[in-house]
Amino acid sequence: MPFTPTTFAQLVQPIDRRRFDAIVERHDGDAYVKSFLSWDHLMALIYAQLSGLDSLRALAAGWKAHANCLYHLGCEDGCEELPRSTLSDANERRPVEVFAEVFDMIVKCIDRTTRCGAEEFIRLIDSTPIPLGKLFKWAKWNGRIRGMKAHIVYDPKGDAPQVLAITDANVNDAQIGRTMALEPDRTYVFDKGYCHYGWWTKIHQIGAFFVTRPKDNMGLRVTKVRALEETAGDGFTVLADEEVKLSSKGDSKLPIPLRRIRVLRHEGGKKLSILTNDITRSAVEIAKLYKLRWQIELLFRWLKQHLKIRKFLGRNENAIKLQIFAAMIAYALLRLAALTHKVKIDILRFTDLAREFLFARRHIGAIQVPPPVHPNGKRDRSCPNQLAFVYA
């Protein structure tokens, strides 16, 4: 009978084990470790995310309960017994760079799967706070919360994050935006928290575009009013399309063309101003791009509701970063599996089914199809390619 791996084994299959071992060796991830290796640690944290576990005790018990399936995940012998102290020590000491490079590896696989040369590339940039309680005394306070912040570059076409950076809560968004690698022929969409004239100039100089909102105190003067060929959009109306420059002495700080597009939202009647260096697209297209930014807000909501980035398996900074990267790796693996196996159901339903059948031997492409049932009520386990004995 043909062998069918578990759903968990199929999900983690895109992680190249040779490249993973090279990453671990490069960062000394297994230095002074005898039994609980980096691969076992990665599998355990992904299992915790997919199973919805939020304590070391539950993780250790669940890991031991599925000991007979760990071999097919590539885990080492003897890792079935997972003491909480061992997992706690690994969360505190293992380099975060190991998990960060694994996340980057999976993201590149998604990018190759969804890439199409004829379509434009859009990247949404935003951050979300990760509140921590009073027990995390080392966490920084930014005036609203005590905790950390996850900065994400998101691909709306592939429905997957491209870049993840984790900082203290008091780190300014624009400071992290300046450190992100930029690519030409991209359109970067972000809110007014990423206001930095030098960064905007760099985006323009490499041949990319940005779409954002100006700050309330940004002085702008109109140099030209552009004609509106179309004003109606999906849920909004374009009021004006203007070419602008920074007022007073600001011209030398931002020597690039700027457009300001004023729109009126139908829901609530709120007026918005959108700023961009794109001169060729229509005003309605620019407004649609900024409206697309809502997708990354939906991603943050989905991650916080369906993965474990609110309760943590440790109280030190390293453990929290490892768990956040494990959550993003789990999400990226789900997206990649859905794309590779052409799963037709939405990501929420697919996640629920993957959690339900995590250690069941079912093909991911047919995870929503119930198994065949024999007429007498028992499942037919025979293989059509195998000979059967019958009475003459």
Which tens digits make up the pLDDT trace of 189-247?
999 889 888 899 999 999 999 999 998 888 888 899 998 888 888 889 999 999 998 88
Task: Give the pLDDT confidence of 273-331 residue by residue, as tens digits.
Answer: 999 999 999 999 999 999 999 899 999 998 888 888 888 999 999 999 999 999 999 99
Q: How confident is the model at residue 158 (pLDDT cuts 50, 70, 90)?
A: confident
Q: With pLDDT > 70 as the criterion, what percentage of the chain qualifies?
A: 90
C-beta separation of 321 from 95 below 8 A? no
User: Residue 38's pLDDT is what?
Assistant: 94
Task: Give the pLDDT confidence of 329-368 residue by residue, as tens digits.
Answer: 999 999 999 989 888 888 888 989 999 999 988 889 888 8
User: Residue 177's pLDDT is what?
Assistant: 85
Whether residue 112 lies inside any domain: the answer is no
User: Residue 134's pLDDT is what?
Assistant: 82
Q: How many C-alpha atoms does 154 have within 13 Å on its Cβ side?
A: 25
Q: Are residues 202 and 281 in the same domain?
A: yes
Q: How far is CA 372 from CA 5, 352, 362, 376, 378, in A?
A: 18, 21, 12, 12, 9
User: In whole angstroms, what separates CA 302 from the centre of its chain?
Assistant: 10
DSSP 309: S
Rounded average pLDDT over 91-120? 84
Q: Are residues 283 and 321 in the same domain?
A: no
Whether residue 165 lies inside any domain: the answer is no
Length of the chain: 392
Query: Residue 68's domain spans which residues?
Result: 7-96+314-366
What whole-number distance in Å separates Cα of residue 108 and Cα of residue 87? 29
Rounded average pLDDT over 363-392? 68
Q: Are residues 266 and 325 in the same domain?
A: no
Whether residue 134 lies inside any domain: the answer is no
Q: Who wins on pLDDT, 385 or 195?
A: 195
User: Residue 250's pLDDT is what?
Assistant: 52
Q: Are residues 204 and 274 in the same domain?
A: yes
Tokens standing for 14?
């895109």
| Stretch (H or E) spanning 168 | strand 160-168
Whether residue 123 lies inside any domain: the answer is no
Kindly give the pairing relationship between strand 121-131 and strand 186-189. parallel
Nearest to 178 by CA among 169, 369, 167: 167
Q: Who wins on pLDDT, 142 or 106?
A: 106
Kindly give the pairing relationship between strand 220-225 and strand 236-246. antiparallel
DSSP 366: G
Is 27 strand, coil or helix? coil
User: Residue 117's pLDDT is what?
Assistant: 45
Whether residue 142 lies inside any domain: the answer is no
Q: Are residues 331 and 274 in the same domain?
A: no
Provide the domain count of the chain.
2
Q: Are residues 18 and 91 in the same domain?
A: yes
Residue type, 74: G
Whether residue 136 lies inside any domain: the answer is no
Rounded average pLDDT over 31-50? 91
What whole-number distance in Å separates Cα of residue 134 and Cα of residue 47? 28
